[in-house]
Amino acid sequence: MPGALAAVSDPALRAAFREWILRVADDELVIGHRHSEWTGFGPDLESDVAMSSIAQEEIGHARAFYEQIAADEGSDVDRLAFDRAPAEYRHAALLERPNGGWEFSILRLLLYEQFEAARLGLLAASGQEPVASLARTLVREERYHSLFARTWLERLARADAEGRARVQAALDSAWPDALGLFEATPADGVLRAAGILGEAPEAQRPAWEEAVRPVLQGCGLSIPAGPAREGGRRGLHGPEFEEMLAQMTEVWRSDPEARW
């Protein structure tokens, strides 16, 4: 079955759309792996199971988007996901950051899911099938992730002053990287000019902030000031990601031809 790139004949437009799909897949894969690191270490059994389920779903979403590329390039999905150098990944830097405490992971989940909902909305409205239908399906699945994050954030921030201080420290750390979710590359302009994207990612940032600020401030948190930390969309990743990638691909690299 042809993937999302099959109907795009112009080489420059095809390359831009491929980059965009790769961003989505890489974001989902990387945050899914970070979530999976909580398996067996969550604060309680229910949350442990819930975060493990979210991790599994995110990695499943990543595979669905990788399949869109692989179907048209005749490539192997696992090789596309695992057999690239760190600089070839296009995920945002926020998602590769080590988990640290539960507070950071919950904040990251909240900030990312609000961004992801808007991005899937862009893809759903792109008119490019089958990726538009896929995006519409995943929007419904992602809502649970946001609800889980919001419930836990309120629980953590409203527990006591010490708990709120820990959450505030996590927000101070995560916020600049969260702004980097909206990092633009030339691919955005190409897709906008072709009418595939209704708006550029950076144009969605004000609506994202309008959505997350009341949630954060309602928990007694202060929004940090400062610029975005960018680079991930251009393949600029730190040693933390190199370590994570080596761990994430260890089993696959032991036998790349196997079917796990």
Q: What is the full DSSP assignment across 15-41?
A: HHHHHHHHHHHHHHHHHHHHHHTTTTT
Task: Give the pLDDT of residue 183.
Answer: 96
Q: How far is residue 102's CA from residue 170's CA, in Å, rounded to a whole number?
A: 9
Report the candidate in 229, 248, 243 with the shortest Cα–Cα distance to residue 98: 243
Task: Give the pLDDT of residue 82.
Answer: 93
Residues 10 and 43: beta-carbon distance below 8 Å = no
Helix axes 102-124, 161-179, angle to 10 degrees: 40
Question: Rounded to 5 degrees, what angle do the CA atoms 51, 88, 53 make?
Answer: 10
Residues 48 and 38: beta-carbon distance below 8 Å = yes
Can you say whether residue 128 is alpha, beta or left, with left for phi > 0 and alpha for psi between -120 and 50 degrees? beta
Task: Give the pLDDT of residue 252.
Answer: 83
Task: Give the pLDDT of residue 259.
Answer: 61
Task: Give the pLDDT of residue 1.
Answer: 57
Residue 56 one-letter amino acid: Q
Task: Give the pLDDT of residue 163.
Answer: 87
Report the candidate in 146, 215, 142, 159 with the shortest Cα–Cα distance to residue 43: 159
Residues of the chain with pLDDT under 50: 260
Task: Give the pLDDT of residue 53.
Answer: 95
Question: Tell me: the pLDDT tens digits for 36-56?
Answer: 999 999 899 999 999 999 999
56, two tokens: 């599994």
Which option is the CATH number for 11-219: 1.20.1260.10, 1.10.1200.10, 3.40.50.300, 3.30.70.2190? 1.20.1260.10
Task: Give the pLDDT of residue 114.
Answer: 95
**This prediction's pTM:** 0.94
